[in-house]
Amino acid sequence: MACAGCARAVRGLCAMCACLFHFRANGPIETADFVRGSWLFVDFFFVLSGFGIAANYRTWLITGGYLRNFSILRVGRVYPLHLFMLAAFVGTDIIGLALSSQALMMRQPFDDRHSLFAIFTNVTLTQAFGLHDALTRNQPSWRIAVEVWTSLLLALLARVAGEALERWLLVAVIICIAVLAVGTPQGIDVTWDRSLFRRIHGFAVGATGWRWWQGQEVTPGRVAGRGGRWSKSLRSCWSLRVKPGQHPCRAWC
């Protein structure tokens, strides 16, 4: 499964670059422009997720027979670990409060960014909906929240749109670009506010990319025709490397 293997390799490199972005130290590496801009690799994961999910689940979702199982699968994939980490952070606050000490966390227990309301939004996966003015609790969990909501929205849209799914995804891409360009001063670099649009944008690009790869029309006219010819050529070459009955993207998501 060379396709999945290459994707995992690239995903691993992007993950390391994203980790470097969060690394804090005094030195040329930490301040390098490439490292400071490595937050963009998060969007690579969004696109790859859309590509892989469309490859594995599109047919089942548009028939409507896999909606419940898909939703349980996507939520169950990330939510238990999210709850575990959230409980660990809340436990640290409780211990710090019981000891009347800030030594455990270098801050006041249950401050504004770690309040009871922040616990509620993290449990309900709404911490990325602009309900706070900063990241709260387990800060990277905003990605988990938007991933879950995007997956649920995809399942519903696929059931309603059917074979026209990609056309609606292209509409979603345009809407998300407009919202991020006009509604946020930092563009696509959003986390606790409007990040759902960022996630939907990347996911929709990946999902429509999968259909282009399959040689299906996702836009009218000559562009779709060219895309079909290119994807058929690529698919012909790729068929020489994938064994019969073997799905090239099964291990991606």
Give long-range contacts, CB 8 A cutoff, 24+ apart: 135-144. Answer: 135/191, 135/192, 136/192, 137/86, 137/89, 137/90, 137/113, 138/82, 138/85, 138/86, 138/89, 141/82, 141/85, 141/86, 142/191, 142/192, 142/195, 143/42, 143/195, 143/199, 144/78, 144/79, 144/82
What is the Cα–Cα distance from 238 to 115, expressed in whole angstroms? 52
Each domain of the chain, given as residue ranges in start order, spans: 2-238
Number of C-beta neighbours around residue 139 at 10 A? 15
pLDDT in tens, the chain (253 residues): 455 556 677 778 888 888 888 777 777 877 788 888 888 888 998 998 899 899 889 988 888 778 888 999 999 999 999 999 999 999 988 888 887 665 566 778 888 888 999 999 999 999 999 999 999 988 889 999 999 999 999 999 998 999 999 999 999 999 999 999 998 888 888 999 899 999 999 999 999 998 888 875 444 444 444 444 444 543 443 343 444 444 444 444 4
Radius of gyration of the chain (CA): 21
On whether the pTM is more than 0.85, the answer is no
